[in-house]
Amino acid sequence: MRPWSLLLVALVALPLIVGVAGLPRHDAPDAPIHTHVGTRYLERGVAETGFKNMVTAVLLNYRGFDTFVEVVVIFTALAAVLALPRGETADPDHAPGQRAPADDATGAPEPGDDAVATAAVPATSGPRDGSDAGRAHEVVPVSPVVLFVVRILAPFLSMFALAMLFRGHITPGGGFQAAAVFGAVFIALGLVFGLGRVARLMPTGLQPWLQAAGPLAFVFVAWFGWRLTGFFLGFPIDDHTTQEGMGFVLEVAIGVGGGVILARLFLSMEA
């Protein structure tokens, strides 16, 4: 068995190494990426798109269709996860956090497991939290150091995500990065304070709309661009204000929608 696996590794690794060795140098001016469309983006990107950040210009304008499909892929991933059967804990009607008593047996760490297990189960949330009180005896409290750090960091991380979202047009960052940080804040809070408690922060009625914010905004902006220019997802070249406005709507939708989807993926593991 072992010689065969070594041979397999060699078969995979050899083409990879040959391929990497054949790549142009990192700063070579005549590398293919510098001789095709890249030059045009750099020379005329600002004039044509109105975005001051090249990454945003490529992402939303020149490669708008790719981003559209990316957003749909992320949304589809969440839909697929939510569609998975959940075994004996399946109870599609209950809201996240309102856990049924039957969940206790599966959610609790097994006796053989050690310290790790405690990190992933919801922490004791105090007597105010009715839904988690029933399983308090099984839950190991989160370390005060972790609790303190997450509490202190959460507002700063949220501000960082907002800054990336709203300044993404001139500085590195943008919708996808902001979404990742938003999602990380939610997950960190969920691990420390209990995922059920965090789930209640998100209004149930609004949730489907927030999850679908990315694709919906793209459809809307694409329709808007079609009315203006006659092309699906077309951007009016002469009107920078309109272009930036359309880009702003897309970035905010990607940021909010992506963040909610990431958080929901983790909440669905608990609830």
Partner 1 sequence: MSDVFDAVMLALLIATAVTVARARDLLAAVVIFSMYSLTLCLVWQHRGAPDVAMTEAAVGAGVTSVLFLITIARTTRQEKP
For partner 1, the binding residue among 46, 81, 119, 154 (CB under 8 A) is 119
For partner 1, the binding residue among 64, 96, 122, 174 (CB under 8 A) is 174
Residues 6+ apart with CB under 8 A from 248: 169
For partner 1, the binding residue among 45, 183, 225, 234 (CB under 8 A) is 183
Give residues 43-62 in contact with partner 1 (rule: CB under 8 A).
55
Tokens of 40: 């045009």
The H or E element spanning position 212 is none
Closer of 55 and 69 to partner 1 (Cβ): 55
Q: What is the DSSP letter of 94?
A: S
Q: How far is the CB of 177 from partner 1 (least distance, A)?
A: 5
114 close to 122: Cβ distance less than 8 angstroms: no
Residues 6+ apart with CB under 8 A from 208: none
Considering only the stretches 12-20, 113-121, 196-204, 239-247, report the one whose residues sit in contact with partner 1 under the rule CB under 8 A. Answer: 113-121
Residue 146 in contact with partner 1, rule: CB under 8 A? no
Helix axes of 240-270 and 175-193: crossing angle, nearest 10 degrees: 30
For partner 1, the binding residue among 51, 193, 218, 266 (CB under 8 A) is 266
Residue 180 in contact with partner 1, rule: CB under 8 A? yes
Q: How far is the CB of 226 from partner 1 (least distance, A)?
A: 29
Residue ranges binding partner 1 (CB under 8 A): 26, 55, 109-110, 112-114, 116-121, 164, 172-174, 176-177, 180-181, 183-184, 187-188, 191, 262, 266, 269
